[in-house]
Amino acid sequence: MGMAPPDLPDFVSNCVALATKIMRLPAPQVWLDYDKQADVLYMSFRKPQRATETIELGDHILLRKAGREIVGLTILNASSR
């Protein structure tokens, strides 16, 4: 299953804007996975994530932790944000 051909200038500028924001995060690495069918965006700050605790932050955002370390975020209904 591939991606439809995007409008190249918009696609590139959106990717650059996203990369600029990701570079400002205090995480040395970020992995993004999007489940289109469930409309859930998973952000992982280490692999494997292996979270031991999930904290519901409200607004359909789940904070994933391992001890005191934040290892990921799960964003529900991601496309409507």
* Maximal CA-CA distance, the chain: 43
Q: What pLDDT shows up at residue 1?
A: 53
pTM of the model: 0.80
| C-alpha distances out from residue 81 to 9, 69, 78, Å | 22, 26, 6
Q: How confident is the model at residue 36 (pLDDT cuts 50, 70, 90)?
A: very high
Q: What is the pLDDT of residues 11-34, one digit of tens each?
A: 899 989 999 999 999 999 999 999
Domain ranges of the chain: 28-80
Q: What is the pLDDT of residues 56-71, one digit of tens each?
A: 999 999 999 999 999 9
For 41, residues 6+ apart whose C-beta sits below 8 A from its C-beta are: 32, 33, 34, 35, 74, 75, 78
